[in-house]
Structure 1
């Protein structure tokens, strides 16, 4: 089996994100690889206490830097048990598959690790982030099957 030296882990902020990081951290330890994390958010703002997703074209509706700070805080908590520091975490806004593939290419990642819920039927036909990353990445992609709690 090929060794890896630069692993990119794409996470959302769901309860299952830790499962994806656990798998990636185990591979990074096995191959003594560098590990980095990316989280891609859509343009986000808050309406009262509720998150509201807006088009990136509506930049006046949200403050990306404020949202970025909130996301970094959550990602820091998620990554801390795996000894992943802020310098290895990236937060981007946009279409997740495109941003993940672009980050992997820019950083010369040789493996992307993403979560997959293994959906079937119409959800499969509509596509998923994992599926799109798999078909567009220039490196290997590991889809970690999410175990629902």
Structure 2
């Protein structure tokens, strides 16, 4: 099976079931002694919007997300939780390559018109990953 599994997580309404499902799939596909990394990518808040937020908003949000991701990882044998900054699709692909991931388990939503024009994170990962990708819908 797989030794280094990456599970990208996004915190959106109704995503809890998808995160739970991705975690279960990662555990089912993991070899004994595997590392399962839960990765959340924080995209930068545009400059025009940041001025309307409290000064410590970014730090507070990052801390809350780090705590949530660490909690997910703590429930899984070999679990690791990370929060990084960047563009979601590109950062997931780069992290997987740089850390020799052999599987990415990623949740996806039903594609809409926006996804047909711009592409979703999951579809970008599927198209460009150098390792196996399991997509959960």
TM-score of the superposition, structure 1-length normalised?
0.72
Question: Residue in 2 aligned with 1:99?
Answer: 91
1:22 matched to 2:24: yes
* Deviation for aligned residue 1:7: 0.8
Question: Residue in 2 aligned with 1:122?
Answer: 113
3-state SS of 1:12 partner: coil
RMSD: 2.5
3-state SS of 1:6 partner: strand
Contact 2:70 2:82 (C-alpha < 8 Å) held by counterparts: no
Question: Could you report, residue by residue, the CA deviation over 1:92-137 in whole angstroms, capped at 9, with x for unpaired residues?
Answer: 1221001101110111101111001232x41440311110011121
Q: State how many pairs are aligned.
A: 128
Change (3 A) 1:130 1:76: same
**Gaps spanning 5+ residues in structure 2: where?**
none
C-alpha distance in 2, partners of 1:94/1:19? 25
Instruction: Describe how 1:69-148 pairs up with structure 2 within 5 A.
Output: 69-83=63-77, 85=79, 88-119=80-111, 121-125=112-116, 126-145=118-137
C-alpha distance in 2, partners of 1:134/1:56? 31
**Gaps spanning 5+ residues in structure 1: where?**
44-53
Contact 2:72 2:81 (C-alpha < 8 Å) held by counterparts: no
Contact 2:5 2:26 (C-alpha < 8 Å) held by counterparts: yes
